Amino acid sequence: MNYLELINKCLLELNYREVNTFSELVKNDHKRIMTNLNVINNEICNSDNWNFLLRTKTLNIPAHTTMVENPIKGRILHLLIDGEKYKFKGDFEQFLTSNPPQKTYSMCANQLIFPKFPTNKNAEIIYYTQNSAVDSNGNEKEEMDTQSDQSLLPMPFAQQLLVYGTCLRLKGNPSYIKFNYWLSMYKEALANLKSKSSIYAKDSAGIKLFRQ
């Protein structure tokens, strides 16, 4: 479901008139819906270590080099060199000494820091992307901003989470007639996403609700 379709689903839930094109989205309520769809999308994507956000990248580390610009836009889960897992160490100053820690890496000013290797090395990096949307050409991006963009949240969960989550944020009043319905549907979709996004049977569903 693309961005325009999600917006129209929100308009329908809020008893507003739907639109045919992106250019019709000029009212303040339109802008609020558009903004909150991205807020909800980003918050859910960043709320957990979702399998659907896992990505891989190979990083070349030249010989006798300790600092390499970090190409990862997200959070690193595993970093392997020569098939061995390297652990992250927050104290980057240790890498500047004559005896840096081995099989570890660190970061400073968007530079990944490694022990100095005598030969070129390739680091295999598994990470969670910080992006939460994708355009019609398959290019990932941080937010939806054109009508054909889609959330990285998998269907059918994306529609239910984004539409009901956006409506909850916009109204934000438990006494509103549809509030409890939106809340129950949102909780159900989030629990289902949690339980079905992992192949590990003992991963349990959890509920998180984001409100202003």
Mean pLDDT of 11-26: 95
Decide if 92 contacts 111 (C-beta within 8 A).
no
Question: Do the Cβ atoms of 143 and 133 come closer than 8 Å?
Answer: yes
Report the run of H or E that residue 115 belongs to, with start and end. none
Q: How far apart are CA 113 and CA 39, in angstroms?
A: 33
Predicted confidence at residue 206, as pLDDT, reads 43
Are the C-beta atoms of 146 and 22 separated by less than 8 Å? yes
**Size of the chain, expressed as the number of residues it contains:** 212
State yes or no: cis peptide before 156, omega within 30 of 0.
yes
Provide, for the chain, the percentages of residues in helix, strand and coil under a 3-state DSSP scheme, each rounded to the nearest 5: 35, 25, 45
Low-confidence winner among 108-117, 127-136, 156-165 (lowest mean pLDDT): 108-117
First to last CA, the chain: 25
Structure tokens at 15: 């008893």
Q: Which residues contact 84 (CB under 8 A, 6 or more apart)?
A: 103
pTM of the model: 0.85
- Higher pLDDT residue, 99 or 204? 99
